[in-house]
A = this chain, B = another copy of it.
Amino acid sequence: MRAESALPSSTPPRAIGIVAGAGPLPSELAGQLQRQGVAVFVVALEGFADERLLAPYPHCTVRLGAVGALLAALRQHHCRDVVLIGPIKRPHWRAMRPDATGALMLARLGKAIWGGDDHLLRAVVKLLEGEGFWVRGAHEFLASHVGDPGQQGRHSPDQQAMADMRQAARINRALAAEDIGQGCVVRKGQVLAVEALEGTDAMLARCQGLVALAGGVEGERAGLLYKSAKHGQDIRVDMPALGPETIRGAAKAGLAGVGYEAGSTLLIAPDETSALADRLGLFLYGLQL
């Protein structure tokens, strides 16, 4: 703090840099920070970021491969703290069209790019830190979005759902050791689906067809989606998130609710998410491990 106040008054104020992937979280973060009076600058990743949602905030757009342009934009707008937020899919290197710095970085990242997601993200964090940036977690600024423990909204999980949730938590833990997804669907003790590269929405979509195979009947609600962070993962850069889309997908799949690991999952638009769960008759529950 002393260093901050000792800055000469001509030094431009710092902004928090937001490197924006897909979905509504980057714009929610930008809005939240602006409401707190904090300056932001958004680097929207071309082909991933929702530029319509980001339009109200100071921003520029760069290709994922244009690492040099990305670093220059962050520096030019006096960002020291940088938040990486919103999912991106790993493109083929030919599609990346790296700029000069990008090519250098790709070479430096080397094999990490093709390893599990954790390896890549750890390498990206190291790279940014090597360039003098401080990588911060979205949850540090979006405290209101971090899933609380216990029942959210009006509906409670019954005893079977609580048992399913504990089983799902065990499964995610076993998978985390292999750097796989952050979600699975358990229904009355049976594992309907496990998430890998396809993502949560695609996993929920396939559950619609699996409930009948698992002995379910039309209209019956049972089972749940469970999301959690991979243990040992750096939640600064890949914190699991769920929102209205997740609730809608879970409802379509005939599930009774959605569970998440309290304290390490971001709720997108938390009020809307909880209200939608209420309206569709699903529980929303934060498991404290």
Contacts and interface: CB of A to CB of B under 8 A. Distances in A.
Contacts of A216: 92
A213 interface: yes
Given A89-B213, A214-B197, A191 B178 contact: yes
B198 A193 contact: yes
A202 interface: yes
Interface string A187-201: 011111111111000
Contact of A194 (B115, B194, B213): B194
Interface in A220-277: none
A170 interface: yes
Nearest to A178: B171
A94 interface: yes
A63 to B, nearest CB: 15
A214 B91 CA distance: 7
Contact-residue bracket for chain A? 35 or more
Interface string A163-196: 0000100110011011111001100111111111
B192 A196 contact: yes
A194 B180 contact: yes
B193 A197 contact: yes
Chain B CB count within 10 A is highest, among A167, A177, A180, A195, for A180
Interface in A109-149: 111, 114-117, 119
Given A90-B215, A215-B93, A194 B196 contact: yes
A242 B184 CA distance: 25
A196 B193 contact: yes
A289 to B, nearest CB: 16
Contacts of A154: none
A90 B181 CA distance: 26
- List the 9 closest A-B pairs by CB distance, nearest first: A194-B194, A92-B215, A174-B174, A115-B189, A191-B196, A194-B196, A89-B213, A114-B188, A171-B178
